[in-house]
Homo-oligomer: A and B are copies of this chain.
Amino acid sequence: MPLLASDRTVGRLSLYRRLLSHLLQEKVRSVFSHRLAEAAGVTAAQVRRDMMVVGYNGIPTKGYDVESLIESIGQFLDAPDPEAVALVGVGNLGRAILSYFDGRRPNLKIVAAFDNDPSKAGQVISGCRCYAVRQIPEVFAENEIATVIITVPADQAQEVCDLLVDAGAKGILNFAPVGLRVPAYIHVENVDMTTSLEKAAYFGRRP
């Protein structure tokens, strides 16, 4: 299993897996690179090339076996054991995300939420328990949390980020519209909705 996979490739693999899961729900057993490509919005060659990365082999005239391909992508993308995820900032967006991920990916489950609003502590929102910010170190240690989601106001994001890194976070999904300063070994994935909306408007205008 090669350890090399580009950012883009990982993104597509994640997408393929979701599409394959839908197919499985519809009792589809096998799929050709063409069809998977069409659903993902890429070329068939791209799909086949991505399969090389995960080391999965299809069968000519049969295509890919949906179930075992999901399994293979999982082995490549996921950690060996289910992973615990934490979210910080139980506001409008944070609550929406908690409800969205509730029960969605068993291997990547949000098990703890943190907020500095005292009234949040102790609550259970969308199946996720809320804690005070000062409890981050202990909860992270108990659950071996390495992946976190930041949904606090922009002016609080860096401060919160530092706490999370100290507590052992390695991968950060950041929704605050600020560039976080982190050590080199930490990975930050930014979701920038303002930029996305401006891109939609720009390219919608100029085809």
Interface string of A147-167 (1 = CB under 8 A from B): 101000000000000000000
Q: Cβ of A19: which chain B residues have Cβ within 8 Å of it?
A: 179
State how many angstroms separate the Cβ of A132 from the closest Cβ of chain B: 23
Interface string of A170-195 (1 = CB under 8 A from B): 11110001010000011111011111
Q: Cβ of A24: which chain B residues have Cβ within 8 Å of it?
A: none
How big is the A interface, by class?
35 or more
Q: Decide if A201 touches B92 in the complex (CB within 8 Å).
A: no
Please report the C-alpha to C-alpha distance between residue A192 and residue B18 in the assembled complex, in whole angstroms.
11
Q: Which of B3, B147, B170 contacts A197 (CB 8 A)?
A: B147
Q: Decide if A171 touches B201 in the complex (CB within 8 Å).
A: yes
CB nearest neighbor in B for A154? B22
Q: Decide if B202 touches A10 in the complex (CB within 8 Å).
A: yes
Q: Cβ of A77: which chain B residues have Cβ within 8 Å of it?
A: 198, 202
Q: Cβ of A33: which chain B residues have Cβ within 8 Å of it?
A: none
Q: Decide if B85 touches A93 in the complex (CB within 8 Å).
A: no
A11 within 8 A of B: yes
Q: Cβ of A123: which chain B residues have Cβ within 8 Å of it?
A: none
State how many angstroms separate the Cβ of A158 from the closest Cβ of chain B: 12
Pairs of residues from A and B, 3 with the lowest C-beta to C-beta distance, nearest first: A171-B204, A170-B204, A171-B200
